[in-house]
């Protein structure tokens, strides 16, 4: 009986993750058109931690932040679950003449080598993963691929956002309206700030600093601490 329940739970989670992917495939072109500029918090992070080596834009969307990384990194990987969004990233890279290797996949299972990434941006993506276990897995994967002195910026929507009236984290949907008026629901886990820090602390990442800005939780993190 327990095995049947586990299999059913796994099937449900897979379906929810596929739903997130399909949602962003559906809205990709319109969504990307509203995401022209890099966030100032990301610009500040990249300015502070820019280095040669490999950059990773995890949940890259239209690659507006991969473009920032490409100005300093020897190579940049843009990773996203949505093929539609990756196509908008490919278009942006072609139009603006920056190099990025695009990979479609799941943020909880990165097809990258251990210690292979020197600087990473993981913004506005963690909150789309449908379960705490999956979110934790994705943070552990980020820790695995970061080099020993690498740094990453992680962000998620929080209860401090003025559209929410809550003090504890919760799951919800946030509507996106396509140009013709069709509404599309997008899954979010809205983090309480202390919950965000707790998930980071429970992961293999090392928290260096955290802050709230524009209704988002932000954290600068390092990879797993050496042992032995």
Q: Exposed/middle/buried for 120, CB within 10 Å: 0-12, 13-18, 19+? A: buried
SS3 149: strand
Q: Is residue 215 part of a domain?
A: yes
Mean pLDDT of all residues belonging to the chain: 93
Q: Read off the tokens for 155.
A: 């962000």
pLDDT in tens, 29-43: 999 999 999 999 999
Which CATH number characterizes residue 42's domain? 3.40.50.150
Q: Read off the tokens for 123.
A: 């913004």
Q: Is residue 228 part of a domain?
A: no
Structurally, how many domains does the chain consist of? 1
Q: Is residue 152 part of a domain?
A: yes
Interior CA angle at 12 toward 8 and 18, to 5°?
145
| Per-residue pLDDT, 16 | 84
Q: Is residue 4 part of a domain?
A: yes
Structural domain boundaries, residue 83: 1-223
| Per-residue pLDDT, 13 | 73
Q: Is residue 98 part of a domain?
A: yes
Q: Is residue 159 part of a domain?
A: yes
| Per-residue pLDDT, 171 | 97
Q: Is residue 95 part of a domain?
A: yes
Secondary structure element (H or E) that encloses residue 188, with its range? strand 183-190
For the chain, percent of residues with pLDDT exceeding 70: 93
């Amino acid at each position: 009986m327990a095995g049947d329940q586990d299999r059913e739970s796994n099937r449900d989670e897979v379906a929810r993750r596929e739903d997130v992917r399909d949602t962003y495939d559906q809205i990709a072109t319109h969504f990307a058109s509203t995401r022209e500029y890099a966030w100032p918090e990301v610009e500040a992070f990249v300015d502070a931690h820019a280095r040669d080596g490999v950059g990773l834009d995890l949940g890259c969307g239209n690659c507006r932040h991969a473009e920032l990384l490409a100005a300093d990194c020897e190579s940049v990987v843009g990773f996203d679950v949505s093929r539609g969004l990756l196509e908008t990233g490919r278009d942006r890279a072609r139009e603006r003449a920056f190099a990025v290797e695009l990979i479609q996949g799941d943020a909880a299972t990165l097809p990258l080598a251990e210690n292979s990434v020197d600087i990473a941006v993981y913004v506005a993506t963690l909150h789309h993963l449908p379960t705490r276990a999956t979110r934790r897995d994705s943070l552990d994967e980020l820790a695995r691929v970061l080099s020993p002195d690498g740094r990453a910026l992680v962000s998620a929507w929080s209860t401090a956002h003025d559209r929410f009236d809550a003090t504890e984290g919760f799951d919800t949907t946030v509507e996106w309206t396509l140009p013709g008026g069709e509404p599309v629901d997008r899954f979010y886990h809205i983090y309480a700030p202390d919950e965000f820090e707790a998930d980071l602390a429970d992961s293999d990442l090392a928290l260096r600093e955290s802050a709230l800005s524009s209704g988002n939780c932000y954290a600068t993190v390092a990879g797993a601490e050496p042992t032995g």
